[in-house]
Amino acid sequence: MNYIDNDRLKQIFFLLIIILWGVLLFSELYGLFPGLLGALTLYVLCRRWMLHLVEKRGWRKSVAAATLMFLSFIIILLPFGLLINMLTAKAGYVISHSSELVQGIKSVDNRLHEATGYSVLTPGRMQKVQETIADLFPILLGATFNTVTAIAIMYFVLYFMLVYAREMEEALYEYIPLKDENVIRIGHELHTMIFSNAVGIPLIAIVQGVVALVAYLIFRVPQPIFWFAVTCFTSMLPIIGAAAVYVPMGVYLIAAGHTWQGIAILVYGFVVVGASDNVFRMMLVKKIGDVHPLITVFGVIVGVSLFGFIGLIFGPLLISMFILLLKIYSNEYLVKKREVKVIKTGGVTVREKK
């Protein structure tokens, strides 16, 4: 009869305490999770520059960290903040003038009905549109507050991660209960994943937005900068992408009597904007790697459900990290090293695995 020794029982009991304690802490700090993910993302992006300034240039750690945080705010957050502020202002205007918007939608629907004999909006659908518009305002306010809170937490945590970069990494290397090769692998693949998700996805979205902006200016679409911002954000959506903007825009222009402009927008969108996504994605794959489309799809679903709009970036990152952990677990506990014996038979080298 086999018995579990006391040391193993103590180990299991201690692990249970750690797991339960960790679950308790995570459940209470769940609201800070987007800020922590943001801090980790910016840390990976700034780490090389931080170590260069401190160890090569002799900067004080606090000064180097503050400088990199300021630059990340100016280069990364400020442009996106301005775009979000533009969209928020437009969304607020739409909500406050919802009756006019509904009348405009009805007018477009009537023109489509006259042209095609088909009506898109039934009374039930129109009621659903009105209810959706009414529910947008509190959601908008909550998303704005959550974003500001996440940014504050992100920079608070990021400062200490940068200042104590070496100490933090040495501690993680020492206490992560994995083989050294797997710890190194986690660091390398985490770096690649963050660059692919946090840099690649927004960069492709901005490129598509710029390409679409050219068409908005050429075909004199009203408020082209606003539609550029909307295109940038919708480009990060999987499957649909920028088509969520230029398809309804083209249909609306055709229904409003601007037939050639509408057709031009649709053709330009499908041919040029769609091609730009494929071309620049192939270019980025060679530089920073790519994210599998299924990871993007499921990541966006999970990320938006958990974190709201910012989940467009963090969702795929979470899925990628989960897959990485599965790979590490397989390498750590399931893959057994097999001895290789070299046998020479008749001048032929045969590798025998045991």
In angstroms, the CA 72 to CA 49 distance is 12
| pLDDT the model gives residue 61 | 93
| pLDDT the model gives residue 340 | 41
Q: Taking the domains of the chain in order of start, what are their residue ranges?
A: 34-175, 176-335
| pLDDT the model gives residue 348 | 43
Q: What tens digit of pLDDT does each residue of 144-181 get?
A: 556 677 788 889 999 999 999 988 888 888 877 777 77
| pLDDT the model gives residue 199 | 77
**Locus of tokens 């046998």:** 343
In angstroms, the CA 162 to CA 66 distance is 9
Q: What is the pTM of this model?
A: 0.69
| pLDDT the model gives residue 197 | 74
Tokens read off for 354 = 């045991």
In angstroms, the CA 339 to CA 42 distance is 43
313-351 CB burial, b ≥16 within 10 A, e <16: bbbbbbbbbeebeeebeeeeeeeeeeeeeeeeeeeeeee
Tell me the CA distances in angstroms from 31 to 294, 305, 326, one per residue in order: 27, 13, 26
| pLDDT the model gives residue 59 | 93
Residue 299, classed as helix, strand or coil, is: helix
| pLDDT the model gives residue 49 | 92
| pLDDT the model gives residue 259 | 81
Backbone φ and ψ for 258, nearest 5 degrees, come out as: -95, 70
In angstroms, the CA 207 to CA 11 distance is 53
| pLDDT the model gives residue 130 | 58
In angstroms, the CA 163 to CA 48 distance is 13
Q: Could you list the mean pLDDT of each consecutive 10-residue stretch along the chain, which spans 354 residues?
A: 67 84 82 82 90 92 93 83 69 57 65 64 62 54 62 90 90 79 81 78 84 89 84 78 83 78 88 81 64 74 72 79 83 58 44 42
- Could you tell me the end-to-end alpha-carbon distance of the chain, in angstroms, rounded to an integer? 31
250 CB-side CA count, 13 A: 18
| pLDDT the model gives residue 349 | 44
| pLDDT the model gives residue 344 | 45
| pLDDT the model gives residue 67 | 95
Cite the beta strand spans of the chain per DSSP E: 340-345, 348-353
Contacts 24+ apart (CB under 8 A), 280-287: 280/203, 280/204, 280/207, 280/208, 281/204, 284/200, 284/203, 284/204
Convert 141-209 into a string of H (helix), E (strand) and C (coil). Answer: HHHHHHHHHHHHHHHHHHHHHHHCHHHHHHHHHHHCCCCHHHHHHHHHHHHHHHHHHHHHHHHHHHHHH
Backbone φ and ψ for 344, nearest 5 degrees, come out as: -105, 120
| pLDDT the model gives residue 75 | 84
